[in-house]
Amino acid sequence: MRGLSGKIAGLAPSATIEIADAAKRMAQEGFDVISLSIGEPDFDTPAHIRDACIDALRRGETHYAPSAGIPALRAAIAEKITRENGFAAGEEEVIVTCGAKNAISEAMEAALNPRDEVVLLDPCWVSYEPAVQIAGGRVRHHPVDPETFQIDDSLLEAITPDTRMIVVNSPSNPSGAVLDERSYRLVADICQDHDLIALSDEIYEKLVYGREHLSLAAFSDMAERTITVNGFSKAYAMTGWRLGYAVAPVRIIRQMNKVQQHTVSHPTTFAMWGGVAALKGDQACVEAMRLEFERRRDYVVEALHGMGYETAPADGAFYAFVKVEGDDLETGRRWLREAHVAVTPGSAFSAPGWLRISYATSLENLREAIRRIAAV
């Protein structure tokens, strides 16, 4: 029998999802596992958003919708971007996708030709590299400054004649770092000097602590060449809805929409009505969740420092990124085996020697996890 796709066989599975699944399996087998592995808010989707989706179902919003998303949601996203993110967007510059993950893969499919290079700034989230590889491109890894987790001039060294795109992600998964204005300016200058596209993954924009979130597309003329990716999973605790979006120049959105038409058609019609309620409704729920994440961040980071661990800045998202001695994969396995605490090894994010702790769980769970980690 002939072999299957070499391109797909060569991909690493998603470490974030595999470890979370392993923790769930252990829990089903009767182990008292605390999972600090997956990046998923533990809150329920706010009631007014769920109600809007149920109303849509009752109204019969159960048919195919326009492929780039229902006009009400595209308009709400364009308004939100123009109001909050420092650059103007119209409906035509928006595509609603099945999660931010789907927006990222469509962006890669739309932007890359075979052999085009995409620069990823390490540590970086697990799914960027596979998205590039599936689209037929190649990845060039470049580290951020390991002291500050900011971008410095050395980024220029990663640019080759084949470079087509740079991916930035602030607040960062896995480091929790928030990029400063200088980092963004460096990326903007390099993109403009070398005629590159930028993909700015801003899915954690609402989860910043004592810092300000900036959008790459707000920097001089960057809206012309930036694909801003965002979604509902983190800010509104809507992971299972599979709802995200991209904002980009119409010439890029048109190409992404063709990929969408030929693959998923569009996100689930009634789920998109939940998205409208999320963006148009009261934003107090977002702030309430942010405050709770901040309390947990304060506890976890202080507890880790108290145990002698060094952490990355932890200014955003809901991850503490912790430096460990020796092999992170082995330490992660030991924490799971001996403490029944699941975390994600930094190696999954191209950062060996680190562990990612997701603090998107109750303070009670976090206290118990810290107690167990201290014990091993």
Chain contacts with ligand PMP (rule: CB under 6 A): 39, 99-101, 125, 169, 173, 201, 203, 231, 233, 239, 244
**Which of ligand GLU, ligand PMP, none is residue 231 near (CB under 5 to 8 Å by kind)?**
ligand PMP
C-beta of 233 vs 268, nearer to ligand PMP:
233
Binding range to ligand GLU, per CB under 6 A, among 33-41, 62-70, 86-94, 213-221:
33-41
Q: Is 170 in the site for ligand GLU (CB under 6 A)?
A: no
| Cα–Cα distance, 27 to 41 (Å, whole number) | 19
Rounded to a whole number of angstroms, the minimum distance from the CB of residue 316 to ligand PMP is 11
Rounded to a whole number of angstroms, the minimum distance from the CB of residue 341 to ligand GLU is 15
Rounded to a whole number of angstroms, the minimum distance from the CB of residue 229 to ligand PMP is 7
| Cα–Cα distance, 274 to 278 (Å, whole number) | 6
C-beta of 14 vs 265, nearer to ligand GLU:
14
Q: Is 176 in the site for ligand GLU (CB under 6 A)?
A: no
* CA neighbours closer than 13 Å in the CB half-sphere of residue 260: 30
**Which of ligand PMP, ligand GLU, none is residue 100 near (CB under 5 to 8 Å by kind)?**
ligand PMP
Q: Is 38 in the site for ligand GLU (CB under 6 A)?
A: yes
Q: Burial-class residue 195 by CB neighbours within 10 Å (0-12, 13-18, 19+).
A: exposed
C-beta of 238 vs 253, nearer to ligand PMP:
238
Rounded to a whole number of angstroms, the minimum distance from the CB of residue 329 to ligand GLU is 17
Rounded to a whole number of angstroms, the minimum distance from the CB of residue 318 to ligand PMP is 10
Instruction: Give the bridge partners for 167, in sequence order.
Output: 120, 199
Residue in 23, 126, 253, 314 binding ligand GLU, rule: CB under 6 A: 126
Q: Is 173 in the site for ligand GLU (CB under 6 A)?
A: yes
C-beta of 17 vs 374, nearer to ligand GLU:
17
Residue in 16, 169, 230, 311 binding ligand GLU, rule: CB under 6 A: 16
C-beta of 80 vs 101, nearer to ligand PMP:
101
Q: Is 14 in the site for ligand GLU (CB under 6 A)?
A: yes
Q: Is 34 in the site for ligand GLU (CB under 6 A)?
A: no
> C-alpha 121: how far from its chain's center?
14
**Which of ligand GLU, ligand PMP, none is residue 38 near (CB under 5 to 8 Å by kind)?**
ligand GLU
Q: Is 369 in the site for ligand GLU (CB under 6 A)?
A: no
With CB under 6 A as the rule, give the number of residues binding ligand GLU. Answer: 10
Cα distance between the two ends of the chain: 48
Please, which residues have CB within 8 angstroms of residue 37's CB and are 6 or more apart in sequence? 16, 19, 20, 23, 342, 343, 344, 358
Rounded to a whole number of angstroms, the minimum distance from the CB of residue 51 to ligand GLU is 26
Closest CA to 282 of 80, 48, 107: 48
Given a contact cutoff of 8 angstroms between Cβ atoms, the answer to whether 95 and 249 are in contact is no
**Which of ligand GLU, ligand PMP, none is residue 215 near (CB under 5 to 8 Å by kind)?**
none
At position 360, the amino acid (one-letter code) is: A
Residue in 23, 39, 218, 237 binding ligand GLU, rule: CB under 6 A: 39
Rounded to a whole number of angstroms, the minimum distance from the CB of residue 45 to ligand PMP is 13
| Cα–Cα distance, 246 to 208 (Å, whole number) | 21
Query: Which residue is nearest to ligand GLU, using beta carbons?
Result: 39
Site residues (CB under 6 A) for ligand GLU? 14, 16-17, 38-40, 125-127, 173
